């Protein structure tokens, strides 16, 4: 990772715009909308401890989870920011059962769609644990100028043109890739500007951190149980026992492991027969980033980015992080 330069996210996007596959400034404008929404959400999250925005709403989202008011707020902010840009033809969100088609006149030439988890880990918000936004960007596959269809959203992750996340934590950082490396920008709250802080992030080939909710151990497949025991065995030659680190906020666990090396696992289990994490707006964007940083992301058997989605809120088992560790875990799954 080279030393950071004093350059804003906006300047960096324009500076590297010619590398985007369809460099007409549209993707730059789209990422700028996400940047704006992230600043607005960040402001509310920082106030959440005092403003009366905490506490659950009466509605349940499609996941059957109690929606935190911030979830609803973040969803509205990102959708409004994306709708205001002519580049976006539609959005799918964890908070919405179905996708939204943008059909105002300004969207008549919109070429992109966005899949997002506007506020992942929101159950952590009222205990002041960091939470995040995750987004994934595709070019639409149905004719420009017509309302987007479900097939625009059910593309394999390998078709993503950009992906990223925002962590609202001790500092607020926006990390993205457009297929040319992974770059991180930290918000300077006094300026309200994201400044380049992590250029060309590379994930260590191997690490000593494993992240999994061991409370679900009894529900895990045998291979995962064996891998966990392997992580805990004493073997100084392979730096074991590894360290267990699990925040329960995907973006935070993923980000730490990307910087330090490690593996994040959310496997199948009787409580989550297909795993808990959603393919479209959690696993795919983070898999794109993991691979762009030199890491690996699979469902234990196949590359996440090769999976053809069948439905918007599809769940998949998730093994992501340092390549050597993900391969190690896959070996235990194959017995």
Binding site for ligand P6P (CB under 6 A): 120-121, 123, 213, 248-250, 253, 276
Shortest distance in whole angstroms from residue 41 CB to ligand P6P:
16
Q: Residue 2 or 170: which CB sits closer to ligand P6P? A: 170
Strand order in the sheet with 318-321: 243-244, 209-211, 263-266, 318-321, 296-298
Shortest distance in whole angstroms from residue 237 CB to ligand P6P:
31
Q: Residue 253 or 291: which CB sits closer to ligand P6P? A: 253
The DSSP bridge partners found for residue 240 are 235
The tokens for 279 are: 């393919």
Q: Residue 149 or 213: which CB sits closer to ligand P6P? A: 213
Q: Residue 26 or 120: which CB sits closer to ligand P6P? A: 120
Shortest distance in whole angstroms from residue 63 CB to ligand P6P:
8
Residue with tokens 């770059």, as numbered in its chain? 183
Q: Residue 90 or 118: which CB sits closer to ligand P6P? A: 118
The tokens for 186 are: 């930290």
The tokens for 119 are: 């506020």
Euclidean distance between CA atoms 238 and 235, whole angstroms? 6
Q: Residue 196 or 250: which CB sits closer to ligand P6P? A: 250
Q: What is the DSSP string of 257-279?
A: HHHH--EEEE--BTTBBTBSSBI
Residue with tokens 């969100």, as numbered in its chain? 93
Our measurement of the distance from residue 104's CA atom to the centroid of its chain's CA atoms, rounded to an integer in Å, reads 28
Shortest distance in whole angstroms from residue 218 CB to ligand P6P:
14
> Phi-psi category of 294—alpha, beta or left, where left has phi over 0 and alpha has psi -120 to 50?
left
The DSSP bridge partners found for residue 193 are 188
Task: Please check whether residue 164 is in contact with residue 34, taking contact to mean a CB–CB distance below 8 angstroms.
Answer: yes
Shortest distance in whole angstroms from residue 314 CB to ligand P6P:
14
Shortest distance in whole angstroms from residue 251 CB to ligand P6P:
7
């Amino acid at each position: 990772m080279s030393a950071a330069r004093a350059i804003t996210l906006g300047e960096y996007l324009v500076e590297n715009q010619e590398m985007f596959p369809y460099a007409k400034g549209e993707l730059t404008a789209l990422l700028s909308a996400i940047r704006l929404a992230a600043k607005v959400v960040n402001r509310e999250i920082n106030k959440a401890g005092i403003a009366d925005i905490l506490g659950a709403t009466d509605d349940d989202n499609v996941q059957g989870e109690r929606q935190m008011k911030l979830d609803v707020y973040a969803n509205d902010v990102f959708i409004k920011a994306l709708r205001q840009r002519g580049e976006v033809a539609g959005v799918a969100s964890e908070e919405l059962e179905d996708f939204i088609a943008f059909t105002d006149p300004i969207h008549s030439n919109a070429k992109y769609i966005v899949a997002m988890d506007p506020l992942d880990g929101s159950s952590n918000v009222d205990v002041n644990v960091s939470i995040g936004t995750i987004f994934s960007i595709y070019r639409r596959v149905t004719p420009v100028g017509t309302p987007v269809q479900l097939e625009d959203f059910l593309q394999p992750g390998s078709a993503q043109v950009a992906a990223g996340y925002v962590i609202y934590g001790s500092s607020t950082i926006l990390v993205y890739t457009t297929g040319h490396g992974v770059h991180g920008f930290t918000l300077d709250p006094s300026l309200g500007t994201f400044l380049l802080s992590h250029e060309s992030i590379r994930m260590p080939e191997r690490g000593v951190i494993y992240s999994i909710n061991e409370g679900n151990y009894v529900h895990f497949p045998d291979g995962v149980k064996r891998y966990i025991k392997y992580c805990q065995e004493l073997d100084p030659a392979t730096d074991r026992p590894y360290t267990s680190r699990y925040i329960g906020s995907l973006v935070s666990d993923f980000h730490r492991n990307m910087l330090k090396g490690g593996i994040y696992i959310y496997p199948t289990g009787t409580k989550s027969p297909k795993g808990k994490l959603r393919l479209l707006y959690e696993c795919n964007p983070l898999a794109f980033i993991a691979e762009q940083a030199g890491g690996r992301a699979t469902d234990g058997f196949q590359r996440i980015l090769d999976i053809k989605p069948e439905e918007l809120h599809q769940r998949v088992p998730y093994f992501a992080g340092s390549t050597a560790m993900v391969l190690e875990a896959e070996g235990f799954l194959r017995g």
